Structure 1
């Protein structure tokens, strides 16, 4: 895995999912123990390094790491656009994987001013924030979100996406241990899915692949929506709003702060998405 990788490499359609490994287990079933092979999700420490300075360490599934790096950089406001990521190198270490990025000098100078330690466990979105201001970041363009813009979606489209999500979760099907974030077209057709042991990482991976410059999947927030297999916590709404998502649909519940943030961002937030039922919070 060591060495420079092409920026924004695409995964070929039909490729087997990565990020899992086999283990031999003993399964107790109907009063008897049996040995069998199982597939478990991989999890390792991933360090994000900008211009030689380590900024964040997270536990993640080691696949689609280029997408994770770009998506995190955009959803955390480190970069304003994908073109500001100049280079990316993956370095495999004994302790985990280092993603060494080169970003524009302007963005790096801004990053140094607000640098904080984000080291945390899987699923921890705010670990290491040193102040309340760092934890609760303002919504981009709050109160000024595309005046006059329409972003209407049919309930049937949300239900259509739900019907096909499970079939598109290849890694979850093998391991039962990962979250998914899906980009859905306006009619509910799922275009892209990214998976990870951490729900924030899955969303960042999705944002990264959608924001690849010049790609056919470049995201137009007005023409689709994001479906996540997790709850809609504050930081999930924050990340989605940072890149202009208009509709976030979650399989589980939202939090009160997520609802508040979605209202400020002008985002439609839906939770408890189930077959023939979903709850519209904003």
Structure 2
């Protein structure tokens, strides 16, 4: 499969001066850099958060964000999404179903910080460490499928291939073929976009596995679990809390995944 070309809308040309460690002559070159813009998320007319993100796949993003924040239960709870390009960034205005109004208002009342990390609005340590959903019984993903998905991932990272500054989150079937992938300058954003994509097309996250190009922190584990994933594969190493929370919930966690080796955590 040929590597997809990047969408030039999310790349900006930048003139840079290349300096050399050996003291050789500097060189002026033009390089593409990833677009990072403020994205304001509004729900039912209420300003909820301003995120720094790549302004691509914003309908997927707001869907996944709302699911991760527990503002909605399914993609059908989003009745309308309007995207506006403002002078200083983007505004995503979303109308939630009336059945989600009280949940939204309660969440706004307790929200104490603006972040995409999954810990927004947590007021005490007990709430942060609340139990996560238990993973349903599932067959283990084959090692061949994992390495096949790792091999395919670069084909689904056009923005990263062009800029070197963008994270990816992808969904692969049980044979390791990547079906959907999303990119963003923020690792949480990339995963939210993928979660939103899967919800909108009606693919259960447990029907395959999620693979991300980023560090595996607790927040990434929580987002994957809330989305219904049974297996999470990450390119970088995990944190201790990510490992323990994944084990408590029964999530299969494979980290530091490389073309030739990977860590199967907790085995």
TM-score (norm 2): 0.89
Contact 1:183–1:193 at 8 Å: present in 2 too? yes
5 Å-filtered alignment, 1:40-79, equals 40-79=33-72
Contact 1:151–1:222 at 8 Å: present in 2 too? no
Which residue is equivalent to 2:204?
220
Alpha-carbon deviation of 1:254? 1.3
Compare the two structures and name the one with the higher helix fraction: 2
Number of residue pairs aligned between Structure 1 and Structure 2: 259
Gaps of 5+ in 1: 1-12
Alpha-carbon deviation of 1:138? 3.4
State whether structure 2 residue 11 is matched by structure 1 residue 20: yes
Provide the secondary structure at the position in 1 that maps to 2:99.
helix
Find 1:107's aligned residue among 86, 90, 100. 100
Provide the secondary structure at the position in 2 that maps to 1:225.
strand
Contact 1:55–1:118 at 8 Å: present in 2 too? no
Question: Cα deviations across residues 87-120 of structure 1 (Å, max 9, x unaligned)?
Answer: 0011222332111000012212112112214424
Which residue is equivalent to 1:261?
245
Alpha-carbon deviation of 1:128? 5.6
Alpha-carbon deviation of 1:130? 3.5
Counterparts of 1:79 and 1:119, CA distance in 2: 18
State whether structure 2 residue 82 is matched by structure 1 residue 89: yes
Find 1:170's aligned residue among 147, 151, 158. 158
Q: Which moved more, 1:22-31 or 1:78-87?
A: 22-31
Counterparts of 1:136 and 1:94, CA distance in 2: 40
Question: Cα deviations across residues 3-50 of structure 1 (Å, max 9, x unaligned)?
Answer: xxxxxxxxxx96642421111222235712222211001111111111
State whether structure 2 residue 195 is matched by structure 1 residue 207: yes
Change (3 A) 1:135 1:46: farther
5 Å-filtered alignment, 1:118-137, equals 118-120=113-115, 124-126=117-119, 129-137=122-130
Counterparts of 1:137 and 1:58, CA distance in 2: 25
Counterparts of 2:75 and 2:117, CA distance in 1: 25
Change (3 A) 1:27 1:15: closer
Q: CA RMSD in A?
A: 2.1
Gaps of 5+ in 2: none
Contact 2:169–2:211 at 8 Å: present in 1 too? yes
Which residue is equivalent to 2:256?
272
Change (3 A) 1:133 1:95: farther
Counterparts of 1:117 and 1:49, CA distance in 2: 16
Counterparts of 1:16 and 1:178, CA distance in 2: 12
Counterparts of 1:150 and 1:159, CA distance in 2: 19
Q: Which moved more, 1:21-30 or 1:252-261?
A: 21-30
Contact 2:171–2:211 at 8 Å: present in 1 too? yes
